[in-house]
Structure formats: structure tokens, C-alpha cells
Amino acid sequence: MLKRPLSRTEKLLLAVLVLGVGIFAYLRYVYDPILRTYEESRNRLQELRQAVSGAQIPSTAAVQKEIDALKEELKRKEEEREKSLGGKLREGGDVALAVAEVYELARRYHVELREVILKQIEPGKEDAPPNKPQEAFTWRVYEFAVSGRTQDVAEFVRSLSERRYVVYLENFEAKPEKKDDARFQARLKLLF
């Protein structure tokens, strides 16, 4: 082989050939995979846009109207329940809430509850006299023993009348715990 230097034309053709092979390799192994990924992503995006545009999204006005209707129905049912109860406790859960409320009152007025006893359940009478309306209902009778300062016990007993549940107080007995002591012990019977 000849070992002569390349002419200017041969150098130019060789540079064009190397440049052509480099461009071909770049297009084949770098640009084409990126372009394919881009086209696949674009097609997927178009599919998702079509799916979203085809989906029926409820208007907020319709949803709000349904929420308002459900709130009205709930309010109506609560009013019906309140009317049917007439302020009277009917369910054991309500009685438990009422007893818990008495515990909370005792804590608020610094009165110690020493005993809480469910004595009996008094059934209501159909022919209750008008001057004794408490006999017309079924009552759960609880006996409480409380102790505390005289003022605290008095405020506790007074606050029982302000409860949201109907409460009748019977057989209230109060006496000092010990002679010359400011603490009172009281026994009372509550009807829920």
C-alpha cells in the first residue's frame, strides 16, 4: 500500500463520512428512542384527556342540593324523635348519658358521688292522675349519695333541674357528715 499523505479532497470526503456515520449513530441510538418515548407519552396523554372529557363529573350545585336535602331529612327525623320522646329518656344509652351528665355536674360543683345505685324501674300507669304526671311514664330510679360543702351540694341539686333530660328529684335528705363539720352528706333519688 501506498503511504502517501491524503489529499485535500480525500480528507474532506473522510470528514464527511465520519460526520455522516456519527449523525446516523446519534439518530439511530439516541434520538429515535427518545422520540418513540415522547410519542407514546403523547398518545397516552391524549387517551387520558379523552377519558376525562368523557367522564361525567356531577355539578357542585347538584351535590350541594343533595346534601341540603339530607340535612333537612336528618333535622326532620331528629324533631320527630324529640317529639316521640317528649323530653323523656327512653333508651338505656340515653340513661347512661344522663348519669354521665350527673357525674360531670358533681365534678363541676366539687361534690363527691359516693354511691350510684339503680334501685328499680318503675313502669308507667295508663290511668295516672293529672296531679301526678310522673306516674304516666316509665322511670329508672337511681339513688345517689353525695357529699361536699353545703353551698356546693345546694348548687349541684339546683343544677339538676337545668338538665336537658327530664329528672325528678325525690327523697332528698341532707345532714352534716360529722358534728361541727362544713361538709354535708345528702341522699337523693333521681328518676330518669
Does residue 117 belong to any structural domain of this protein?
Answer: yes
Residue 182 burial (CB < 10 Å; 0-12/13-18/19+)?
A: exposed
pTM: 0.44
Q: 185: domain range?
A: 89-191
What contacts 94, CB < 8 A, 6 or more positions away? 165
In a domain, 137, yes or no: yes
Per-residue model confidence as pLDDT tens digits over 16-42? 999 999 999 999 999 999 999 999 999
Q: How many beta carbons lie within 10 A of that of residue 90, not counting itself?
A: 13
Any domain includes 156:
yes
**CATH no. for residue 168?**
3.30.70.60
Asked if the structure places residue 74 within a domain, the reply is no
Q: Is residue 26 part of a domain?
A: no
Residue 163 lies in a domain: yes
Looking at the 3D structure of the chain, how many domains does it have?
Answer: 1
Q: What phi and psi, each to the nearest 5 degrees, are found at residue 97?
A: -65, -40
- 53-87 residue pLDDT tens: 877 666 778 888 888 999 999 888 888 776 665 55
Residue 59, domain member (yes or no): no
**Cβ contact 105:164 at 8 Å:** no
